[in-house]
Amino acid sequence: MSSIRSGRQQVARHVRVLFSSTLKQPATMQDLSKYSLAKLRALEEQVNDALKTHHFLSISKAREQILHIARNAGLSEKQVLAIKAPASGKPAATAVSYTNPDDPAQQWSGRGRQPAWVKAWLAAGKSLEDIKTSG
């Protein structure tokens, strides 16, 4: 476990060195307007590298914090990594319950507000049972 930690620390240290050496003083907007396209592309690459590095460092730091909390709670790294995330709270798509006989592309699940075509259908004295889809 300590060899994993020391390996991570070495990677983080190496990334910090790269991060500090690739990032130069930020330019003002006026300075950027004078840059050639090639220089702007090079600057874009530096910014992208800096963003990737910053992202990596923040994820590494968060991971270490999580593992520290887990160890204090008596959990091993394997136990923490074996924990599955809960299922998404997003509800499954609702099946179509009613279809407009005049335009099959118009459908309604039977939930929420009635579409105009359903209101017109009911106003004409017809039943929802007549347009209910089979299934």
What is the residue extent of each domain of the chain?
2-82, 98-131
pLDDT at position 48 over 60: yes
Name the 3-class secondary structure at 99. strand
Contact 108, 73 (CB under 8 A): no
Q: 15 to each of 43, 49, 57, 104, 122, how far by Cα in Å?
A: 19, 11, 8, 58, 67
Choice among 17-21, 34-38, 101-105 with the minimum mean pLDDT: 17-21
- One DSSP character per residue, 34-92 reads TS-HHHHHHHHHHHHHHHHHHHHHHHHHHHHHHHHHHHHTT--HHHHHHPPPPPP-PPP
pLDDT of residue 20: 58
pLDDT of residue 3: 54
pLDDT at position 106 over 70: yes
Grade residue 86 by pLDDT with cuts at 50, 70 and 90.
confident
Burial class (CB in 10 A: 0-12, 13-18, 19+), 108: buried
pLDDT of residue 77: 86
Mean pLDDT of the chain: 81
Any residues with CB less than 8 A from the CB of 62 and at least 6 apart, and which?
none
pLDDT of residue 5: 57
The neighbour count for residue 122, using CB atoms within 10 Å, is: 13
pLDDT of residue 73: 92
